[in-house]
């Protein structure tokens, strides 16, 4: 059962919300060195979204059979 929110509780909630709004944490991409606040952590490495997509493409490219899919659209 939940009682009514008291003034103090409301105040505390508000403060918590404000605290959650602190600046995003920036990390440095371990591949290109760019500082980003949106990043992926893969196997302990920090990658920006660009590098993450690049690596994913590379992985996919490596897995692909050679000679397959030329001139796709
Ligand atoms: Zn990067």
> pLDDT tens digits for 31-68?
999 999 889 888 899 999 999 999 989 888 887 666 66
The Å distance, Cα 21 to ligand 1 centre, comes to 25
The Å distance, Cα 40 to ligand 1 centre, comes to 10
Query: Residue 19 and residue 38: Cα distance in Å, rounded?
Result: 19
For position 18, what pLDDT does the model report? 81
**Ligand 1 (single-atom ion) residues, CB below 5 Å:** 29, 31-32, 48, 51
Question: Quick one: pLDDT band at residue 20, thresholds 50, 70, 90?
Answer: confident
State the pTM of this model.
Answer: 0.52
All structural domains of the chain with their residue ranges? 17-63
**Mean of the pLDDT values across residues 5-22?**
86
Is 19:38 a contact under the CB 8 Å cutoff?
no
CA distances from 60 to 37, 53, 63, 66, 69 (A): 26, 10, 5, 12, 13
Q: What pairing do the DSSP bridges indicate for beta strands 27-28 and 45-48?
A: unpaired
């Amino acid at each position: 059962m939940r009682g009514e929110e008291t003034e103090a509780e409301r105040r505390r909630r508000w403060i918590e919300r404000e605290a959650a709004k602190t600046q995003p944490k920036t990390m440095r991409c371990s591949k290109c060195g760019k500082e980003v606040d949106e990043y992926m952590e893969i196997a302990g490495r920090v990658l920006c979204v660009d590098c993450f997509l690049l690596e994913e493409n590379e992985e996919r490219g490596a897995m692909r059979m050679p000679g397959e899919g030329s001139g796709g659209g």
